[in-house]
Structure 1
Amino acid sequence: MWTVILLIGSNIFMTFAWYGHLKYKEVSLWKVILVSWSIAFFEYCLQVPANRIGARTFSPDQLKVIQEVITLSVFGVFSVFYFGDRLHWNHLAAFGCLIAGAFFMFHKF
């Protein structure tokens, strides 16, 4: 459970580091890079422990799939609330495919 909580937190920081600056196109690139790296520091402070803790229970492949599901979930919420985007049926279909991929990663047949 801690792995998922830490990954959600780290993804919130990383999403802001990677995409938050897109609203501020007038700010010079070097300033945006410094702010983004500063935000990313906190992402790493959560991401590294999440993977360490998660490695006790999950394989690296499973950790990566968990990370991707969380990343797209966080980004979906971010794009709606921060950029005012709208999610459409194709976004939900793509997310469904990702969930199906996670299902197969966690089940051995």
Structure 2
Amino acid sequence: MLDRVLPILMLVGSNVFMTFAWYGHLKHKSAPLLITILASWGIAFFEYSLQVPANRMGSAVYSVVQLKTIQEVITLVIFAGFSAWFLGQPLKWNHYAAFALIVGASFLMFYQPDAKPAG
């Protein structure tokens, strides 16, 4: 069980760091661009410190396609919360509808139909 859950928790942590690295500076637009880039790189180091081992461990129990799908869903959830909480840009109905479609598509990545028809 831990071998399935730990990579996902690490992906959540890595996505929190990366969201701040990519978008956190938008709240501080007066900061010099070079300082912003260097700060983002520094934050991204912690993202990579979680992302790389999460993918390595996760590949033992998930396919690469499944890992990427998990990461993308986590990214959207983290970004949605970040956008509303940190940047003050709440989601609208169409964002929720689009997210529901992505979750449906993600289900298909994990769906494994039987190879032989029953009967």
Q: What's the TM-score once normalised by structure 1's chain length?
A: 0.97
For residue 71 of structure 2, give the secondary structure of its aligned residue in structure 1.
Answer: helix
Unaligned 5+ segments in structure 1 are none
Asked if residue 38 in structure 1 is aligned to residue 42 in structure 2, the reply is yes
Show structure 1 runs of 4+ deviating over 3 A.
Answer: none
In the alignment, which residue of structure 1 is the partner of 2:84?
80
Please report the RMSD computed on the Cα atoms of aligned residues, expressed in angstroms.
0.7
* 1:8-23 correspondence to structure 2 within 5 Å: 8-23=12-27
**Cα offset, 1:108, TM superposition:** 2.1
Identity of aligned residues (%): 55
**Cα offset, 1:6, TM superposition:** 0.2
Aligned residues: 109
Asked if residue 4 in structure 1 is aligned to residue 11 in structure 2, the reply is no
Q: What's the TM-score once normalised by structure 2's chain length?
A: 0.89
In the alignment, which residue of structure 2 is the partner of 1:93?
97
Unaligned 5+ segments in structure 2 are 114-119
* 1:25-64 correspondence to structure 2 within 5 Å: 25-64=29-68
